Structure 1
Amino acid sequence: MWSLELALYKENEVYDFCSLFVCVCVCVCVCVISSRQMSLQACLDECMEALDLFLNNHFNESLDKLRPRSKESMYHALIYATVLEMQAMMTFQHDDIVHAGNTMKSAQEQLHAEVCYAECLLHRAALTFLQDENMVSFIKGGIKVRNSYLIYKELYAFVQSDPAFKGPNHKHLEGGVSFGIGAFNLTLSLFPARLLKLLEFAGFSGDKEFGISQLYTGATSHTLRSMLCALLLLCFYTFLSFILGTGEGEVEEAERLLKPFRLRYPRGAIFLFFAGRAEEIKGNIDEAVALFEDGCKAQQAWKQFHHMCYWELMWCFTFKKHWKMAYFYADLLSQESRWSKAMYVYMKAAYLSMLPDTECRPFGDNEVDLFRQVPTYKQKIAGKSPPTEKFAIRKARRYKASNPVRLPVPVLEMMYMWNGFSMISKQPELTEGMMETLLEAERTLQAAPENEYSVDDTCVILLLKGLCLKNQGQTQAAEDCFKQVYSSEKKVKFDHYLVPNALLEMSLLYIDTGKKEQAIHLLQKAKKNYKEYSMESRTQFRVHAALTKLKADTNDQDEITTL
């Protein structure tokens, strides 16, 4: 066991380069002496072998290789805890999360090398606000990892200032620094200005391009952190920039990064998954389905990888309007995954509601009964419910009535929350199919007696019709739909998210047609004038991404114009 105390940092303590150099050197010496006479090089080599096992789907063998030395070797402890963290993030089993947290905490207390300690802090923070995208949680998480950030900054300065300090294992140290500096800069660059101001006050800053360059360097360097750097970049390219951005994704970069990993790990489930995600974003739905199915077949040890694929397969069949197939995957998730049973049951009910009344329901399920069950599955992580789960529960409330008013297009509405209309934009026949569904729902709504939900339901359909029209190049018709939603602002009773999102979508339409100033005006309006609506964090991130794309001032300004 190691006994040095350099892992115990005070909140505001800053080390100069000399003391940092001494700390790193002493830690390396301690590691070499205390690892059952195992050299640092041997530790690193064995950990790299364990990572290869992991990426080739031999998950249990990977843990078996790491576990025996996880109490005495800093790198074994770090990689062992990291694998357990990934498992916890996929299972959402309370015992797995607690075990991963305790293992990472144990590693943190034992690790005296700066980069390992900082990395443990980063992983522990991720586990604390697992599954919650609430703004307050982002702030708390940011404050919690402040020490990690400061350590990475010091290490980066040290590595840059003394290029002569090289050795056979120096690339692993540089890889760790690239991961930390890259992760912080990239993540923080996504934050809206009002949140970033608070984080800057605590000493944080974010530079997207610099963060990406650091992560790409780490991902291509073949070190212990290559996998983490690659996975973070792939998440950014295929999820964060897509769902929390303006909807384009960065597929070419993702495929360029994936290529060497897929050559090295051709049956690696995690890389098959990201390859499927890239095809999905391009609108190649059949190719995406084949890759997700291959990802499920590639291994059977960790069913949690299957759940990731099931989720994407559910959406792939949604885009093709194969409601029963999509229902099948939602049902599988509701039975096997612990991420959000409320969300899965809501989606099951939503898919059934898209079927004609005369069509037989699978397994004898009934959508009204399922919608009524949704609130009973509400869960809390760190005292809060996930925003998507809150949204599903709010939408299902109308089914409490003995004779409920049906949701018009619940599947398409949830599809919008995950930016699915951007995915189908590449395939005209998919957009055409969705438009047919919306027109049919619109006719049904117009023929029904007016009720308290009529305005909200009409605005939902208008927002989604606008997106389809935009995909079809009918710019003016799309703009008219978004304007109609905005003009109904004072009549909307329940779905208050519709108005700021209509402004956001109209601004993205203006960006595409070169109307930069009008787009900025609408984005500022959407950012400033609307609060406490469903999925607010996600909308605010998208607004920030659009303003950043326009290179506009993302700070709060006085309201400029009205429509």
Structure 2
Amino acid sequence: MDIRDRDSDSDDQEDFQDAEDAPITASVSLNQALEESHKAIDYFFNNQFREAKSLMTPYANISMYHSLGHSVFLYMEAVLTFEREAIKRASVALKSSMSVCNRFRKKTTFGESLGKVVRRSNYELYTQTEAHAELCHAEAMLLKSTLTFIEDETLASFIKAGIKIRSCFNSYKDCHQILLNRNWEKDPTKEHFEGGVRVGIGVFNLMISMLPSRVIRLLEFIGFSGNKQKGLNELTIGCETEGLRQILCIMAVLAYNLVVLPVLSHREGDTKLCRDIIDKRLLKHPKSVWFLFFKGRLEFLQGNMDECKNWYVKSWKSQDVWPQFHHICYWELVWVHSLNMEWKQAVYYSSQLVEHSRWSRTMYSYQKAALLCMMKDTLTSSEKEEIDKLMRDVPKYKQRIAGKSIPMEKFAVKKAERYFSQNRNLLIPVVELMFLWNMFKIFKNFSVGAKILKLIEKAATNLDSGDKSCRYYNDNKALLLLLQGACLRQMGSPLQALNCLETAISMNKSIIEDSYIVPYAIVELALVEWYNGNCQKAILALEDAKKNYTGYSLESRLHFRIHTALTDFKSEMKRS
């Protein structure tokens, strides 16, 4: 799609823009808009959210940068709160922002539109303002498209949002051509434009490259493509490019290395790079809720439990304008205390999420119930009744997107049902959740891993000394073997890990409900084989898990890990 083609953008006109553009009643120069946007970003990362928003709002109807900035604040509020009115306000603001950007975009005559079919666009003809208008329009369209996923949860809207994101991806590619082909000599706004292009191209490439191969093939068919190394290179350059959007490149790099990779792959992120970035940013924004959080996340992934706890608390106490930021830290603190087996403290933060957060009441209810189950021997009768109530509440709040349940919520509902069918009992459910959220990586801190391993072994002893005729005995046995094997792998005991994992896999036909255990165990086994130097065995195991197992809980989550591991392993074998 050529960005000058208004005909090809007709669907966007229908969905995203007002019938008629409002007249420009005043003017704001591009330099002034960039300067004030930069100031708003400084306000934002110093937790001065009201000041940042008030700087953007007055010119939101006449300046593309002010309009985009104003919309971003409403968008964040919508995503953080999930409140219907906040989502509606953000949607209207983004629609208006796209309309404002369109006033400044390069106009294309009918003849030029026809000519584009046979010749390339002349990107050199874009003025300074037209170039920035294209980028701002792409950014607003991306936010509006992603908002559609929570604004309207029907399948039709889901597909429509995907088509809009594809258009947005093409717009970013065209902006990249403007960056490469336009004459930017003596243009001080280039660095601001370049940063936006880098973050857009970088994030698209990075995220697409992480998707399972079957999804990538479908996306390539409709025009998407992704290259991990290209994405990382673009973001790295963007982090070093002084400009308005440098901070977005920095946030993308931190999120990828400290959140996305740790959850969705076997790999570690670049913690040295993250530490350098965070330390520099905390010198500039010492009270920023974001950089305090990322500092906590970094220490958490390094297994420094006391340090990360302090940073998370600093983060949520650093501001109270948006309490939803607190919930992000509460979620992390639940797991910090759980890994330390400090169940009461974990329950406290879990209770805060149940009572105040709207993101996933289903997950929060199950999480709190699971934590209380870990203390079942010491609970009062009223506390045991609370577990029952929470488990009954789990399915009540289940959400659907495009007609589909969220996989982790679906898993929680199944486990809540199991709790009642298993005589109001679950086996170390919090440790199971730790494994599924890929938190066993923390066991590089041996003292943390040893405590959890002891907990698993105790549960196994209790299971074996109990009633082996129980309907779910084999499910529970296989689960404990999987958890034990995964724990031992992280703690550097590969032979013991292999023994546990192979036994769990051998129980495939005797497992009644928890069919996810076997493919997850095969992936764990593949990682052990790889680190033992049995490269071909590792790849064959991953291919086995990928091709021969389907229909189990959290299948997509495992496929992310399989795809990342296969990509890394095959690349490494080629190099060697």
Structures share a fold, TM > 0.5? yes
Post-superposition CA distance 1:231-278 (Å, at most 9, x none): 222111111111111142332222222232211101101110011101
Structure 2: 5+ residue runs without aligned partners? 12-20, 103-132
**SS where residue 111 of structure 1 aligns?**
helix
Matched, 1:505 2:524: yes
Matched, 1:72 2:70: no
Alignment of 1:30-69 (within 5 A): 34=24, 36-69=26-59
* Change in 2 beyond 3 A, CA 1:37/1:11: closer
Aligned to 1:482: 501
Q: Is the 8 A contact 1:131 1:386 kept in 2?
A: no
Aligned to 1:558: none
Aligned to 1:387: 407
Matched, 1:191 2:181: no
Q: Is the 8 A contact 2:88 2:151 kept in 1?
A: no
| Residues 268-277 or 365-374, more deviating | 365-374
Aligned to 1:269: 289
Q: Is the 8 A contact 1:496 1:533 kept in 2?
A: yes
Post-superposition CA distance 1:130-163 (Å, at most 9, x none): 5999x99998754431111111112212322345
Among 228, 236, 241, the alignment partner of 1:208 is 228
Matched, 1:524 2:522: no
* Counterparts of 2:515 and 2:160, CA distance in 1: 27
Aligned to 1:427: 445
Whichever residue aligns with residue 8 of structure 2, its letter is K
Among 469, 476, 480, the alignment partner of 2:488 is 469
1:361: how far off?
7.8
**SS where residue 338 of structure 1 aligns?**
coil
Aligned to 2:466: 448
* Change in 2 beyond 3 A, CA 1:179/1:7: farther
* Counterparts of 1:553 and 1:137, CA distance in 2: 40
Matched, 1:354 2:352: no
Aligned to 1:237: 257
Matched, 1:436 2:454: yes
Matched, 1:94 2:84: yes
With normalisation by structure 2, the TM-score equals: 0.87
**SS where residue 478 of structure 1 aligns?**
helix
Post-superposition CA distance 1:286-310 (Å, at most 9, x none): 1000000000111111101100000
With normalisation by structure 1, the TM-score equals: 0.88
* Counterparts of 1:405 and 1:386, CA distance in 2: 25
* Counterparts of 1:167 and 1:66, CA distance in 2: 24
Q: Is the 8 A contact 1:34 1:73 kept in 2?
A: no
Aligned to 2:98: 108
Q: Is the 8 A contact 2:28 2:62 kept in 1?
A: no
Aligned to 2:18: none
Alignment of 1:74-473 (within 5 A): 74-112=64-102, 113-129=133-149, 142-360=162-380, 366-401=386-421, 404-423=423-442, 425-449=443-467, 450-473=469-492
**SS where residue 406 of structure 1 aligns?**
coil
* Change in 2 beyond 3 A, CA 1:84/1:397: same
* Change in 2 beyond 3 A, CA 1:471/1:553: closer
| Residues 390-399 or 313-322, more deviating | 390-399
Q: Provide the aligned length of Structure 1 versus Structure 2.
A: 531
**SS where residue 400 of structure 2 aligns?**
coil
* Counterparts of 1:273 and 1:239, CA distance in 2: 11
Whichever residue aligns with residue 498 of structure 1, its letter is I
Q: Is the 8 A contact 1:74 1:116 kept in 2?
A: yes
Whichever residue aligns with residue 442 of structure 1, its letter is A
Whichever residue aligns with residue 482 of structure 1, its letter is L
Whichever residue aligns with residue 59 of structure 2, its letter is R
* Counterparts of 1:218 and 1:456, CA distance in 2: 49
Whichever residue aligns with residue 446 of structure 2, its letter is P
1:381: how far off?
3.7
Q: Is the 8 A contact 2:257 2:268 kept in 1?
A: no
* Change in 2 beyond 3 A, CA 1:163/1:363: farther
* Counterparts of 1:131 and 1:247, CA distance in 2: 34
Whichever residue aligns with residue 193 of structure 2, its letter is L
Post-superposition CA distance 1:78-132 (Å, at most 9, x none): 1221222222222222222222222112212221321111111221232233599
| Residues 445-454 or 136-145, more deviating | 136-145
| Residues 234-243 or 135-144, more deviating | 135-144
**SS where residue 570 of structure 2 aligns?**
coil
* Counterparts of 1:292 and 1:176, CA distance in 2: 30
1:416: how far off?
0.8
| Residues 322-331 or 153-162, more deviating | 153-162
Post-superposition CA distance 1:414-455 (Å, at most 9, x none): 1111111111x2211111111111111112212222222111
* Counterparts of 2:505 and 2:454, CA distance in 1: 23
| Residues 325-334 or 390-399, more deviating | 390-399
* Counterparts of 1:380 and 1:221, CA distance in 2: 40
* Counterparts of 1:48 and 1:143, CA distance in 2: 31
Whichever residue aligns with residue 552 of structure 2, its letter is Y
Q: Is the 8 A contact 1:249 1:281 kept in 2?
A: no
* Counterparts of 1:136 and 1:436, CA distance in 2: 49
| Residues 265-274 or 165-174, more deviating | 165-174
* Change in 2 beyond 3 A, CA 1:496/1:12: farther
Q: Is the 8 A contact 1:132 1:384 kept in 2?
A: no
Post-superposition CA distance 1:516-535 (Å, at most 9, x none): 10010000011111122111
* Change in 2 beyond 3 A, CA 1:330/1:55: same
**SS where residue 484 of structure 1 aligns?**
helix
Task: Give the superposed CA RMSD.
Answer: 2.8
Whichever residue aligns with residue 559 of structure 2, its letter is Q
Q: Is the 8 A contact 2:87 2:151 kept in 1?
A: no
* Change in 2 beyond 3 A, CA 1:262/1:460: same
* Counterparts of 1:220 and 1:258, CA distance in 2: 14
Taking every aligned residue pair, what percent have the same amino acid on both sides? 38
* Counterparts of 2:367 and 2:66, CA distance in 1: 41
